A and B are shown apart, each in its own frame.
Chain A
Amino acid sequence: MLKIDVSATVRTVFGKGAARRLRMDEQTPAVLYAGGADALSLQVGAVALHRSLFDIHGRNAVVSLNIDGDTKGTRHVLVKEIQKNPVTDQLIHVDFIEIPLDKPREFNVPIQYLGKARGVDKGGLLQVFRSSVKLRGCPLDIPDALEVDITELDQGQDGLTCNDLDIPNNVELIEKRETVCVAVA
């Protein structure tokens, strides 16, 4: 899984007006939830955060959050929610959630279909039923994407199922094994 470093500072100002002033100073308000413990209000440099979120680009990523003014040191977090202006794409607020790296957790992992199916060359239609699958495992064991070669897939065959996916040993698939992912009609 992708790993990214982000620096943040503990936020001491709250409310609409203060948040707007922060955004004008190129800071983005954020919050860190840590299962059970109190939530921690943060502020992150808007430009650096935008660049980091652009690197993540919707993928699963563990963010190492270095918080200035926090006693706990570096925290490993996931990006839970991004609020942005729908017109300008300016960041409004970001939610982080702290995760232990040694505990299994569920992740949606995209499937990448490689090559052109033989059946498509014969005039068939490629039907993609699943573009991602749910996997359970420790965050760092989860792959970025599952790659599947579909060049041998022919027209009229049963198609590739979740069973045909190359899943790492220490990761568990949380789907029915017989679910068809891709087929050629």
Chain B
Amino acid sequence: MLSPRKVKYRKQHKGRMKGTAYRGSDLNFGDFALKATECGRMSAAHIEAARITINRKIKRGGQMWIRVFPDKPITKKPAETRMGKGKGVPEYWVAVVKPGRILYELSGVPEELAIEALKLAGYKLPFATKVISRSTTI
């Protein structure tokens, strides 16, 4: 699963997800894309699950681009631990996703297959998404 090779600080604050994703909101590489319409956190496991779904649907051929990277560590306290005694240990990595963010791009695949594959990938994610194509955007 995706994770940073090295980080400066092991733990981060929770943060807030405000506004929309002005960066990374355009189709840049492929012809079809999965776009987030809500904000949320996409863990490395989500990214991998959706990637496998797309690959299983398109079988072979085509090219895929993953446009998000999980660079935020999420900590968790062990079970049955009393509150306090400091912040928990990093458990997994997430990508913070804002509405409008492109998540995956596809090219070299027939239109119906690409749309179906991206739609199935969208079901794996914890926020609402939509499929867009180059022919329907300005």
B37 at the interface (CB under 8 A from A): yes
> Contact at A87–B138, with CB atoms within 8 Å?
no
> Contact at A87–B137, with CB atoms within 8 Å?
no
Q: A53: nearest residue on chain B (CB-CB)? A: B138
> Contact at A89–B137, with CB atoms within 8 Å?
yes
B64 at the interface (CB under 8 A from A): no
Q: How far, in whole Å, are A33 and B127 apart by their CA atoms in the complex?
A: 41
A86 at the interface (CB under 8 A from B): yes
The stretch of B19-27, B52-60, B111-119 in contact with A is B19-27
Q: Which residues of A contact B20 (CB under 8 A)?
A: 85-87
Tell me whether A57 and B21 are in contact in the complex, defined as CB-CB below 8 angstroms, given that A86-B100, A87-B37 are known contacts. Answer: no
Tell me whether A54 and B138 are in contact in the complex, defined as CB-CB below 8 angstroms, given that A86-B99, A87-B37 are known contacts. Answer: yes
Q: Which residues of B contact A53 (CB under 8 A)?
A: 138
Q: How far, in whole Å, are A29 and B31 apart by their CA atoms in the complex?
A: 29
Per-residue CB contact flags for chain A residues 76-104 toward chain B (1 = under 8 Å, else 0) read 00000010111101000000000000000
Q: A50: nearest residue on chain B (CB-CB)? A: B138
Interface of B is mostly: loop
Question: How many B residues are at the interface, by size bracket?
Answer: 10 to 19
Q: Which residues of B contact A89 (CB under 8 A)?
A: 137-138
> Contact at A86–B138, with CB atoms within 8 Å?
no
Q: How far, in whole Å, are A87 and B137 apart by their CA atoms in the complex?
A: 12
Per-residue CB contact flags for chain B residues 112-138 toward chain A (1 = under 8 Å, else 0) read 000000000000000000000000011
> Contact at B138–A57, with CB atoms within 8 Å?
yes
Per-residue CB contact flags for chain A residues 51-77 toward chain B (1 = under 8 Å, else 0) read 001100110000000000000000000
Q: A147-167: which have CB < 8 Å to B?
A: none
Tell me whether A82 and B99 are in contact in the complex, defined as CB-CB below 8 angstroms, given that A87-B20, A87-B37 are known contacts. Answer: no
> Contact at B138–A82, with CB atoms within 8 Å?
yes
Q: How far, in whole Å, are A50 and B136 apart by their CA atoms in the complex?
A: 12
Q: How far, in whole Å, are A89 and B136 apart by their CA atoms in the complex?
A: 10
Q: How far, in whole Å, are A87 and B35 apart by their CA atoms in the complex?
A: 8
B106 to chain A, nearest CB (A): 17
Q: How far, in whole Å, are A87 and B3 apart by their CA atoms in the complex?
A: 27
Q: B100: nearest residue on chain A (CB-CB)? A: A86
Q: Which residues of B contact A87 (CB under 8 A)?
A: 20, 35, 37, 99-100
Q: Which residues of B contact A (CB under 8 A)?
A: 20-22, 25, 35, 37, 99-101, 137-138
Q: Which residues of A contact B (CB under 8 A)?
A: 50, 53-54, 57-58, 82, 84-87, 89
Q: What are 23 of the A-B contact pairs (CB < 8 Å)?
A: A50-B138, A53-B138, A54-B138, A57-B138, A58-B138, A82-B138, A84-B138, A85-B20, A85-B100, A86-B20, A86-B21, A86-B22, A86-B25, A86-B99, A86-B100, A86-B101, A87-B20, A87-B35, A87-B37, A87-B99, A87-B100, A89-B137, A89-B138
Contacts A85-B20, A86-B20, A87-B20 known; list 4 others, CB within 8 Å.
A58-B138, A86-B21, A86-B22, A86-B101
Closest 10 CB pairs of A and B: A86-B100, A86-B25, A87-B100, A87-B99, A53-B138, A86-B20, A87-B37, A86-B21, A54-B138, A87-B20
